[in-house]
């Protein structure tokens, strides 16, 4: 027998979504999610395992039809949901993209009506017709991911979330990000072009040969990496934003190492100036991540849609 009572609370994995207050929580901690993405999340959870088309989402979000470019608006709303849930399009645990059709919520959902006791023993678990090809892997991924939540929560506290970042115009964000990539390319090419001078600078160090080898190897690796980042951003490659965020931890370690690059110019500048430049470069990888979250690598129309 179908329960017609309105649903108040949704539970899935470590998350709870309250339809009454419009709040999303992870293990009791409030997760910021704007009104439109939250509305889309409710639509997905109302139909777990079923296709929710982009047209259905757009009709719900913009019933008067005033929003013309709904494709970017829907994409932006789903991206905000994935960011809030720590999900990804390539390895989804919650929201699966069906190319050119829409989205499906694949995690088990508990739906609790207002008069129900919110204890797990009496709540009704709704796992509706999730395809066999997706359900086992999704459930297994969900089980593996639960122990990771404390680390993710700590990581999220240290790094800025999209909601905490200021709004900025797309050309400004894109230009700043591109200029930073050219800055790093200048470091790598300049270092490789002046190896004799740098070798002389490293000579007093205990392991000068090892230091020079690290410099050469990392510069040789990072030149194509920066070329990839630049082309992905300049040509708005599909999924560029997700790819940039995935390689960010790798770049973080190497960028922190290359924050010492001003000291390679000690033949031309003094120690104090080199130290001042290094302290600024230590923050550079975090600034790059913020710029990506603010829209670098996306499409201008999509950034405008997210700001509405």
Residue 127: what pLDDT? 40
The yes-or-no verdict on residue 294 having pLDDT over 90 is no
Condensed to tens digits (0 to 9), the pLDDT of residues 136-164 reads 444 444 434 434 444 444 455 677 777 67
Q: What percent of the chain has pLDDT over 70?
A: 77
Q: Which CATH class is domain 9-164?
A: mainly alpha
The residue-averaged pLDDT of 99-125 equals 69
| Amino acid 142: pLDDT | 42
The pTM of this model reads 0.52
- Count of CB atoms situated within 10 Å of the CB of 241: 22
pLDDT given at position 61: 81
Q: Where are the domains of the chain?
A: 9-164, 170-307
Phi-psi label, residue 24: left if phi above 0, alpha if psi -120 to 50, beta otherwise: beta
* Structure confidence at residue 74 (pLDDT): 85
18 Cβ contact partners less than 8 Å away, ≥ 6 residues apart? 8, 9, 10, 24, 25
Residue 67 backbone class (left: φ over 0; alpha: ψ -120 to 50; beta: rest): beta
pLDDT at 126 > cutoff 50: no
| Token pair belonging to 169 | 């115009």
Q: How far separated are the first and last CA of the chain, in Å rounded? A: 41
Buried b (16+ CB within 10 A) or exposed e, 68-79: eebebbbbbbbb
Q: What is the pLDDT of residue 154?
A: 47
pLDDT at position 153, please?
47
């Amino acid at each position: 027998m179908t329960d017609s009572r309105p649903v108040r609370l949704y539970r899935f994995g470590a998350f709870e979504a309250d339809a009454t207050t419009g709040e999303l929580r992870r293990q009791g901690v409030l997760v910021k999610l704007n009104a439109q993405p939250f509305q889309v999340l409710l639509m997905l959870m109302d139909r777990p395992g079923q296709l929710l088309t982009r047209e259905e989402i757009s009709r719900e979000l913009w019933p008067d039809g005033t929003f013309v470019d709904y494709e970017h608006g829907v994409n932006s709303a789903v991206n905000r949901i994935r960011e809030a849930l720590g999900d990804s399009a390539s390895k989804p645990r919650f929201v699966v993209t069906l190319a050119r059709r829409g989205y499906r919520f694949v995690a088990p959902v508990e739906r609790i009506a207002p008069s129900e006791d919110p204890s797990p023993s009496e709540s009704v678990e709704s796992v509706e017709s999730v395809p066999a090809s997706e359900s086992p892997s999704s459930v297994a991924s969900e089980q593996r991911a639960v122990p990771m939540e404390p680390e993710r929560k700590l990581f999220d506290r240290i790094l800025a979330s999209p909601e905490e970042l200021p709004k900025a115009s797309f050309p400004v964000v894109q230009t700043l990000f591109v200029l930073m990539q050219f800055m790093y390319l200048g470091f790598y090419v300049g270092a490789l072009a002046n190896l004799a001078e740098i070798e002389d600078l490293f000579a007093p160090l205990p392991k000068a040969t090892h230091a020079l080898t690290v410099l050469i190897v990392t510069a040789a690796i990072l030149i194509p990496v920066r070329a990839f980042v630049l082309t992905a951003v300049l040509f708005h490659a599909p999924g560029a934003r997700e790819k940039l965020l995935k390689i960010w931890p790798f770049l973080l370690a190497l960028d922190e190492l290359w924050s010492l690059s001003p000291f390679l110019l000690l033949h031309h500048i003094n120690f104090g100036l080199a130290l001042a430049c290094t302290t600024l470069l230590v923050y550079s990888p975090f600034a790059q991540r913020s710029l990506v979250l603010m829209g670098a690598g996306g499409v201008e129309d999509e950034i405008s849609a997210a700001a509405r």
